[in-house]
A = this chain, B = another copy of it.
Amino acid sequence: MVTIYDVAAKASVSAMTVSRVINNTGKISDKTRAKVKRVMEELGYVPNQTARSLVLQQTKLLFLLITDIMNPFYTTLARGAEDAAKRSGYRLLFGNSDESIEKESDYVTTILTTRVDGVLVAPAGDPSLPHLESLRKHKVPFVLLDREVPGIECDIVLGDSKDGARRLVEHLVAKGHRNIAFVNGSPSVSSARLRLQGYQDGMKLSDLAYNERYVFETSFGPLSDLTEMGQWLDQLDPAPTAIVAGNNVLAVEILRLFRERGISVPEDISIVCFDDLGPYSEVEPFLTVAAQQAYQFGYMGMQMLVERIQERETALPWKKIVLPADLVIRRSVKTLS
């Protein structure tokens, strides 16, 4: 490996001088600077970030932990985070917890040992609390994305889940639906709780009775088995004319069930959901959704994180950004007479 000393020797200067050229610090004569640069080129010298990290006590590495890398909401969010990170001169490590507290735990270990400068976390749920406490204890700055965790105070970027869910219900009601079911994520996830509240609010505001039998709670991630959801649907009497899905993944799972059963959307039943499908919003049934600004989640979250890192000394107050969910009306809802 070519080190700073190899360059120094060949350029007949000290290692310190080379370091100054690399980092553009201190005063260097143009002549030596040119010579050092030429030698670096000749030798194909590349600074060793590991050694640099050790002495500087910072890695210039950030970490993004998401819960579902197959979900366009999170990949779009990742794009935003990546762009913002690069703009601030940071590199981005990345992990995928699969909505699993255990996998999340492994990543927290990685984060701690790798000494990343900060973390962007979409927590798996309320049980993520000890993981966040661990980060806090080791003074790793972090920003939460998409989900709150009771018991922890921190910077956070949230979507307006309650409002979005309520508007989805109201849209269905406006289209003549009165029998509306709700397929939601786990109640251990804050956004799922808020979306349930929004659903309840929407029903109440429309003078419709809330019936908990019409709510099915599962995971926001891909479902390994659809039978339970199918059984829940079968026992609903009267059968719903519309379903609200707690997120895009669940909407697709419901569509999968309907396909198996030969049920058409929106002819036989209507469906709306939280989060857009990214590029796949182009295909049928061209879902009506409460679209969140996924890219902004990542971009703004990353900005907050970088600010938090750079102002580490000053005691900034915790910031909370709530992004609206925009109702995008497409063609997955049938108008009832």
A binding-site residues for B, Cβ under 8 Å: 1, 44, 46-51, 53-54, 57, 59, 61, 69-70, 72, 75-76, 78-79, 82, 86, 91-96, 106, 110, 112-115, 137-138, 222, 249, 252, 255-256, 259, 277-280, 282-286
A49-B115, A70-B75, A259-B286 known; 7 other A-B pairs, CB under 8 Å?
A44-B138, A46-B112, A79-B96, A91-B93, A93-B93, A94-B94, A277-B280
Q: Are B282 and A284 in contact (CB under 8 A)?
A: no
Contacts of A138 in B (CB 8 A): 44, 46
The answer to whether A54 and B44 touch across the interface, beta carbons within 8 angstroms, is: no
A48 surroundings in chain B (CB, below 8 A) = 54, 113, 115
Determine the chain B residues whose CB is within 8 A of the CB of A47 once the complex forms.
113
* Distance of A237 from chain B, by nearest CB (Å): 27
A114 to B256, CA, bound (A): 43
Flag if A93 contacts B94 (CB, 8 Å): yes
Q: Which of B50, B96, B113, B277 contacts A82 (CB 8 A)?
A: B96
Query: What is the CB-to-nearest-CB distance from A261 to chain B, in angstroms, rounded to a whole number?
Result: 13
Contacts of A1 in B (CB 8 A): 57
Say how far A294's CB is from chain B's closest CB, in angstroms: 11
A114–B50 Cα distance when bound, in Å, is: 7
CA distance A95 to B278 in the complex (A): 20
User: Please, how many angstroms separate the alpha-carbon atoms of A55 and B308 in the complex?
Assistant: 31
B284 and A50 contacting across the interface, CB-CB below 8 Å: no
Contact residue among B91, B112, B222, B282 (Cβ-Cβ distance under 8 Å from A114)? B91
State the CA gap A92–B64 with chains docked (Å). 12
Cβ contact of A113, chosen from B44, B46, B93, B114, cutoff 8 A: B46
Q: Tell me if B278 and A255 are in contact (CB < 8 A).
A: no
- Sorted from nearest, which 4 A-B pairs have the closest CB atoms? A284-B284, A280-B280, A49-B113, A94-B94
Give min CB distance, A96 to chain B, whole Å: 6
Q: How far does the alpha carbon of A282 sit from the alpha carbon of B255 in the complex, in Å?
A: 7
Give every chain B residue within 8 A of A59 (Cβ-Cβ).
50
A82: shortest Cβ distance to chain B, in Å? 6
Q: Closest CB-CB distance, A192 to chain B, in whole Å?
A: 19
- Given A113-B48, A115-B48: A285 and B282 interface contact (C-beta under 8 Å): no
**Residues in chain B near residue A49, CB distance under 8 A:** 113-115
In the complex, the chain B residue whose C-beta lies closest to that of A278 is B70
Question: Whole-angstrom distance between the alpha carbons of A283 and B286 in the complex?
Answer: 9
Give the complex CA separation of A135 and B245 in angstroms. Answer: 46
Chain B residues closer than 8 Å to A46, beta-carbon distance:
112-113, 138
